[in-house]
Amino acid sequence: MKTLLLSLLSIGALVAAEPAKPAVVRPGRALEAPGVRADFLIQSDRKATVTFVDEAGKPVARGERTVTVKVDGTDVALEPQPNGFITKDPLPTKEPAPIVVQIRAKADAKPANFRLTLDTSLCGGCKRQEYGCICGH
């Protein structure tokens, strides 16, 4: 038992000693602001998800956070999930269209606002869908 604990500790020490790795490239569009780290992803069924993640990009519990999503100025109905939210319906087919995602730490907290564009065409540079383009072309 003691040996196991020691080896676990030394693994922990090894991980801690490693230099910071470049951020994991996560699918979709990263939404990051002070105190906020989430991914906005448009699934193949065109429903969009907002998933809260930790520093390593792993999903974390939704907690008290609330999200609103507007597409083209219209609120989209969301359903809670363990790690975030999913739109009740597929996103509108009109592209490009403006999307605003608001994330609040609690219902009455000041929101962090993210503006993106509903555009699922593939970027020629990074081969990701345009709303999640990371090559900044």
Among residues 35 and 136, whose Cβ is nearest to Zn ion?
136
Report the C-alpha gap between 45 and 133 in whole angstroms. Answer: 19
Report the C-alpha gap between 11 and 115 in whole angstroms. Answer: 40
Q: State in angstroms the smallest separation of the CB of 119 from Zn ion.
A: 11
Residues 105-124 that bind Zn ion (CB under 5 A): 123
Does position 125 bind Zn ion by CB under 5 A? Answer: yes
Closest listed residue to residue 120, CA positions, set 68, 47, 53, 70:
47
Among residues 12 and 125, whose Cβ is nearest to Zn ion?
125
Residues 6-45 that bind Zn ion (CB under 5 A): none
Q: State in angstroms the smallest separation of the CB of 48 from Zn ion.
A: 19
> Contact, 62 vs 54, CB < 8 A?
no
Among residues 63 and 125, whose Cβ is nearest to Zn ion?
125
Q: Is the dihedral of CA 92, 94, 96, 100 positive or negative?
A: negative
Total residues contacting Zn ion (rule CB under 5 A)? 5
> Contact, 77 vs 90, CB < 8 A?
no
Q: State in angstroms the smallest separation of the CB of 126 from Zn ion.
A: 3
Q: State in angstroms the smallest separation of the CB of 24 from Zn ion.
A: 17
Which residue has 């604990």 as its token pair?
Answer: 5
* Interface positions with Zn ion (CB under 5 A): 123, 125-126, 133, 135
